[in-house]
Amino acid sequence: MGENDVWGDRYPDLDDSHKELLSGGGLSRRFSRLPLWISHPSNIGAFYGLLISLALILPYITTEEFWFPLWIYHASLLIAATTFLGMVSRIMNIIFKRMPVSVNRKMLYPMPFIGFTLVTLISTELMADNSITSFLSWCILMIPGPLYIHLSWAPRWRLLCMLEDGLNPFEGIEVVEKDYSQDISEVAGEDEELMEVVEELDSEE
């Protein structure tokens, strides 16, 4: 499917900038293919909490004698927290009607791995276990998913729901697209392969 697939094809009257806003990056395009009731921000938050919980199984197995009840307890807290934060983002977007924005990939994507590393170091007693380090490691581990949902997916989900209800979410709103072609040319010079890589990365959210 193309860059502006799914909803863009169903509503051909939308201009390209609005289709681009609906489709978002690669992750948002995958979520937009799901039924709206499944892709609700709280459900996406719960899914992120589940993924993080599954990643924590190994450190729990190797460091805890009775690991399963403790893992179930912490996994339940994680999933409940990310579900709640997804719902909060949805409610806030209903009130403020903010448009989706791109997240900073370079900052956001490494955070779960950093948090997972800190949790592992604390569990194996290679790092001091106190209230500050524990709170910091769990926050770094948990926050990327809810932050993505708050900035990007919850606003986009509201727009998709409005289209599904036959409403035009862009009425009276002009979306201005930034032209990146000159910036890419300055970075890549005459290297066509490098330009293709930069353009592909830029298309991801």
Domain ranges of the chain: 7-106+145-174
Give 161-204 pLDDT, tens digit per residue.
988 888 888 776 665 554 444 444 554 455 556 556 555 655 55
The tens digit of pLDDT for each residue in 66-107 reads 899 999 999 999 999 999 999 999 999 999 999 998 888 888
pLDDT digits (tens, 9 = 90+) for 182-193: 444 554 455 556
Q: 121 near 127, Cβ under 8 Å?
A: yes
CA–CA gap between residue 196 and residue 171 (Å, rounded): 34
The pLDDT value recorded for residue 62 is 86
